[in-house]
Structure 1
Amino acid sequence: MTDSAAEHVELERMVDAFFSAFTSGEGVGARLDVLRQLLIPQAVIVRTCGGEPAVYGVEDFIAPRQALLEGGTLTGFHEWALGGSTEVFGDIAHWWGSYAKEGVQDGVAFTGRGRKTIQFIRTTEGWRISAAAWDDERPGLTID
């Protein structure tokens, strides 16, 4: 298979769906169901953020975030890609980019930025996410 503009568009839409899944307010369940469909069942998601990496399976990753997004203590929250690049080789692909997030947690507004990597594989059902990992800005680690 060749690397095509259509593949890049499809993969970028998947990246956008990944980020938009983490938006508080109405429709959380539906957005997270879309995310479940985009991930292979064995996908691995890793949060680093300066501590011991936290490694999640699909439901271990989604369930607590769904509870937080629907629980009422986190409002006005959303994440979005600031920019990134996608590379495709045969049946594998990779997105590397930066992102931002903002919201209100327990009445306190916050913002943040970080970098995320998302890996894709081509399956018989089409492109799916096989892994994702991220790290957030903190003292001594900033996005230039």
Structure 2
Amino acid sequence: MRAVTTEATTYEPTIDRDVIQGIVDAFFGAFVAGPGCSERMDRLRALLIDRAVIVRTCGLEPAVMTVEEFIAPREALLTEGSLTDFREWPVEGRVEVFGDIAHWFGSYAKAGTQAGEPFTGRGMKTIQFVRTTDGWRISAAAWDDERDGLSLPSDAP
């Protein structure tokens, strides 16, 4: 693909996709129990626009959260000690970009030990992005996890 230039911005879809994938990796990489959690959460805060919207579904009434409503309880859980060896990671996904908007849609997995009991899980996340004067930032995210009656489709990204 060729780069398209306007007075304000050069659009380079391949570079944009790589940058966005790096943000996706950093988003998932923030959710690791143990040392460095505070720094990872600060990095995550910097990747989100101030008024980003985060939504958890998971078969429940959707929980709509602000940036701090999303990050603060997760940071506490990852540092207080009952959740150990935890991490989340993207399994497979796709990035689509048009001008100054983009999104990542894909599957993810998680594993850890909660109160001495090992667990694993999988789900799907969608993350929306906008190009700001400071570069690409997350404007919204939503997720749903596998549960009884809902499994990832065999062709899930």
Q: TM-score range by the shorter chain?
A: over 0.9
1:62-88 superposed Cα distances (whole Å, 9 cap, x missing partner)? 000000000000000000000000000
Counterpart of 1:55? 64
Name the SS for the 1:109 alignment partner: strand
Question: Which residue does 1:121 correspond to in 2?
Answer: 130
Q: Which one of 108, 111, 118 corresponds to residue 120 of structure 2?
A: 111
Partners of 1:3 and 1:89 within 8 A in 2? no
Question: What one-letter code is carried by the residue in structure 1 that aligns with 2:144?
Answer: D
Shift of 1:3: 4.6
Unmatched 5+ residue regions in structure 1? none
Q: Deviations over 1:62-117 (max 9, x none)?
A: 00000000000000000000000000001000000000000000000000000000
Task: State the 4+ residue runs in structure 1 displaced beyond 4 angstroms.
Answer: none
Percent identity, aligned pairs only, is 62
1:1-144 → structure 2 map (5 Å cutoff)? 1-143=10-152, 144=154
* One-letter amino acid of the counterpart of residue 4, structure 1: P
Task: Tell me which amino acid in the other structure corresponds to 2:87.
Answer: H
Q: How many residues align?
A: 144
5+ residue gaps in structure 2?
A: 1-9
Equivalents in 2 of 1:4, 1:120: separation in Å? 14
The equivalent of 2:4 in structure 1 is none
TM-score by length of 1: 0.98
Farther-moved stretch of structure 1 (2-11 vs 126-135): 2-11
- Deviation, 1:2, is 3.2
Q: Retained in 2: the 8 A contact 1:3–1:90?
A: no
CA separation in 2, counterparts of 1:92 and 1:23? Answer: 28
**Cα distance in 1 for residues equivalent to 2:84 and 2:48:** 25
